[in-house]
Each structure stands twice: as C-alpha cells, then as structure tokens.
Amino acid sequence: MNQVITCILALLTALNLSGCAAVQPPVAQQVSGTMEVHFIDVGQADSELIQCGDKAMLIDGGNVADSSLVVSYLSAQKIDHLDYVVCTHAHEDHVGGLSGPLNKFKVDHVLAPVTNYDSDAFRNFAKYTAAQGLDITVPSVGDNFSLGDASVEVMGPQKLYDETNNTSIVLKVTYGETSFLFPGDAERESEQDMLDAGCDLNATVLKVGHHGSDTSTTYPFLRAVAPSYAVISVGADNSYGHPAESTLSRLRDAEVTVYRTDLQGNIVAVSNGKQISFTTQKEKDVQTNPTESKTEITYIGNINSHVFHRDTCDALPAEKNQVWFESREAAIAAGYKACTRCKP
Ligand SMILES: [Zn+2]
Ligand SMILES: [Zn+2]
C-alpha cells in the first residue's frame, strides 16, 4: 500500500504541475572546494564558462567571430572536455561562437531550445554537434542535472514563444548557499511567465538578461531574483545603446553591485559555497553604474508627441523614441511642450 502512495506521489512530482522544479526550498548542499564562473568578454554577445571540480559547462559562445577567442580562453583554463554546451537561443551572438569549442573539445551534452534554425551560425552549431555523435537536447522546465557539487535547474522557457529572445533557456546554477541565474536574452514575457510559474528565481548573481536591454530585468523579476551582484555582458559603444540607463537605474534601486564586460573585460566569479569573490581583467575600480548619467542630461523628449519629461517621469517614451535635452530651455527651443504629469 505504501508503495502505491509513493508511486502516486512520484507521479505527481513528475507531472510538475507548477511548471517549475524549484517550488520546494533548495537544500544547501555540502560543497568542497570552489566553483568558478567566467564571463568571457566577447563584446556585444554572451559567453560563460562554469567550472566545478573537474566538470565544465559552456553557456553560449559569442558571435561567429569570437569562436577562436573562446577556444583559446577555454584552453587557457586547461579545459579539454566540456560536460555541457548550452546554446541559450539561436541568435548569432550566443550560438555563433559555439562551433569552435564543439570542434575542438570532447563534449558530452548539447542543449538548445530548438533543433533547427534558419541561419548559418545555427547550422554550423548543429553540424559540429552531430560530428561529436550527439543530438541536440531540448530541455524541459524542471529538468535538473549536476555539475560536480553544483546543481543546475532549467527555469525557462516556460512556453513556446515566437520571439527568439524569449526562447532562451534559463538556467539556475546552485553551489552551496550561492547561486547564479543565466537568463540568456529572456525578455519581460519570459520573466513574467517564470514568476507566474512560481520558480525559485532567487540568486546571488544575475547574468543580466539581453545585455542590459530595457526589455529585460523588470522590477518584479529583479525583486524575485534579489541578486547581490549582476554581470552585464555587453560591447563597448554598441549600436543598441545597451545597457539601457533604465536597467542600470533599476539595478541601482535594488542596490546590486554591477560588473560589466565592456568596462572590465573578462570577469571571474569564484564561489566557495558561502561567498563569491570577483576578479576582473581590467579596471577593477571603474564606475560600472554611476548615479549621474555621464552627460548630465535631465530632460527626455518624445520624438513623436513632442512632449518632454523629467528623466524620473513614469510616462517616459520607449528608448527608441527618446531625445535628450540638457536644459528645459533647449527642449522648448526645439518646439517641445512640457509633460503635464511631471511638470518639468
Ligand atoms: Zn538574442
Ligand atoms: Zn544576445
């Protein structure tokens, strides 16, 4: 009889009605040694190497042009074998550079949210995966696996999305009492769906979604993750304006210590299971998230409505529709009218 009940319980657990594995409080595992997380500077792209004991996982590989850089970086870390290679989603700045590592190192498991995507970058990734004798595994929410003493859980994507960024595989890596969340380029829809599913998103370190774009790192998501540290993988002077000032501002409000690959190069986080220490390739003390915006622009106009606002107004236009003015006078001289809400 007891066996029947155990079976039913196991079945219910397997059905995973909440849509997320981590509804039960995470059990702090005993760890020995350290786990290293390398945020490799691949410019306007993502690539992270996680090493725990003799196990290693590579999440994304930057653009096609970063492939050999990532291979040399891994070789410098004495990597000759990757237990997991993860393509968070099919955009080139994530999957492009995975071909080199897949060609060079013995790999055990390859994860991606899709098995096909119409781009040369993805076709090459699929080709080198097949050359290893492997199939691409599409993980499900709730899947988990170990990486040495670390445990890895799949938090997203919760649904099938049309928007490729939202298809990003979202992984939480827990090591002792510390944890890292890697949301790829997941945007607000995916963030909200993980919240709605009751995922335990809380993490010590957040790899900021979508290179610090305004479309990710919403307040509710940030409150749930409640990170002490955030790392933004972003290219210097990129054409997207990443990281967005609005995202930086939310991270300031949440009192998160920010690291940035555009300013600090490669960033390495080392966890001993209780605390995390960071080392950066360059400019350790650079101001990564200054309170004042660099040029002290305080008025923001909407290029469509020709209304201007204080930068603190909650009716600011979308980033692509913004024009910034250094003074009230400059905005009026340009033919803009004051917002009736924030009364600049
Ligand atoms: Zn993307
Ligand atoms: Zn991206």
pLDDT confidence of 13, banded at 50, 70, 90? very low
Tens digits of residue pLDDT in 122-137: 999 999 999 999 999 9
Tens digits of residue pLDDT in 328-342: 888 999 999 999 999
Q: Give the separation between CA 40 and CA 74, rounded to whole angstroms.
A: 10
pLDDT of residue 23: 47
Tens digits of residue pLDDT in 56-97: 999 999 999 999 999 999 999 999 999 999 999 999 999 999
Q: Does residue 227 have a cis bond before it (omega within 30 degrees)?
A: no
Q: Is the pLDDT of residue 2 over 70?
A: no
Contact 322, 301 (CB under 8 A): yes
Does residue 243 sit in helix, strand or coil?
coil
CA of 98 to the centre of ligand 1 (A): 15
Q: Which numbered ligand comes closest to the C-alpha of 235? A: 2
CA of 46 to the centre of ligand 2 (A): 6
Contacts 24+ apart (CB under 8 A), 129-135: 129/85, 129/102, 131/102, 131/103, 132/102, 132/106, 132/107, 134/107, 134/108, 134/109, 134/110, 135/110
The first and second tokens of residue 36, run together, are: 């290293």
Q: Which numbered ligand comes closest to the C-alpha of 94? A: 2
**DSSP letters for 158-195:** -S--SSGGGG--EEEEEETTEEEEE-TT--HHHHHHHH
pLDDT of residue 243: 96
Q: Is the pLDDT of residue 14 over 60?
A: no
CA of 241 to the centre of ligand 2 (A): 13
Q: Please enumerate in sequence order all residues whose Cβ is within 8 A of that of 98, keeping only pairs 6 or more positions apart, or say none.
A: 58, 60, 61, 67, 85, 87, 125, 128
Comparing 17 with 44, the larger pLDDT belongs to 44
Q: What residues does the ion ligand 1 have nearby, CB within 5 Å?
A: 91, 165, 185
| Length of the chain in terms of residues written | 344
The 10 Å Cβ neighbour count of residue 272 is 16
What is the side-by-side strand order in the sheet with 106-111? 136-137, 106-111, 81-86, 55-59, 48-52, 35-39, 267-271, 276-280
pTM of the model: 0.80
CA of 209 to the centre of ligand 1 (A): 9
pLDDT confidence of 118, banded at 50, 70, 90? very high
pLDDT of residue 250: 96
Q: Is the pLDDT of residue 159 over 50?
A: yes
Comparing 42 with 310, the larger pLDDT belongs to 42
> How many helices (H) and strands (E) are present in the chain, helices listed first?
10, 19
Task: Write phi, then psi, for 299 (nearest 5 degrees).
Answer: -120, 135
Tens digits of residue pLDDT in 237-285: 999 999 999 999 999 999 999 999 999 999 999 999 999 999 999 876 7
pLDDT of residue 297: 63
Tens digits of residue pLDDT in 295-308: 556 789 999 999 99
CA of 275 to the centre of ligand 2 (A): 28
pLDDT of residue 290: 80
pLDDT confidence of 17, banded at 50, 70, 90? very low
Structural element, H or E, at residue 104: helix 99-104
CA of 76 to the centre of ligand 1 (A): 27
What DSSP designation does 103 have? H
Q: Is the pLDDT of residue 15 over 50?
A: no
Q: Is the pLDDT of residue 32 over 70?
A: yes
Q: Output the average pLDDT for the chain.
A: 91
Residues linked to residue 36 through DSSP beta bridges, in sequence order: 51, 270
pLDDT of residue 294: 46
CA of 274 to the centre of ligand 2 (A): 30
Average the pLDDT over 42-57 and give the result. 97
CA of 328 to the centre of ligand 2 (A): 36
Q: Give the separation between CA 49 and CA 78, rounded to whole angstroms.
A: 12
Q: Give the separation between CA 99 and CA 71, rounded to whole angstroms.
A: 10
- For residue 106, CA distances in Å to 55, 85, 153 come to 12, 10, 23
CA of 19 to the centre of ligand 1 (A): 23
CA of 322 to the centre of ligand 2 (A): 23
pLDDT confidence of 16, banded at 50, 70, 90? very low
Q: Is the pLDDT of residue 145 over 80?
A: yes
Average the pLDDT over 159-163 and give the result. 96
CA of 223 to the centre of ligand 2 (A): 23
Tens digits of residue pLDDT in 192-205: 999 999 999 999 99
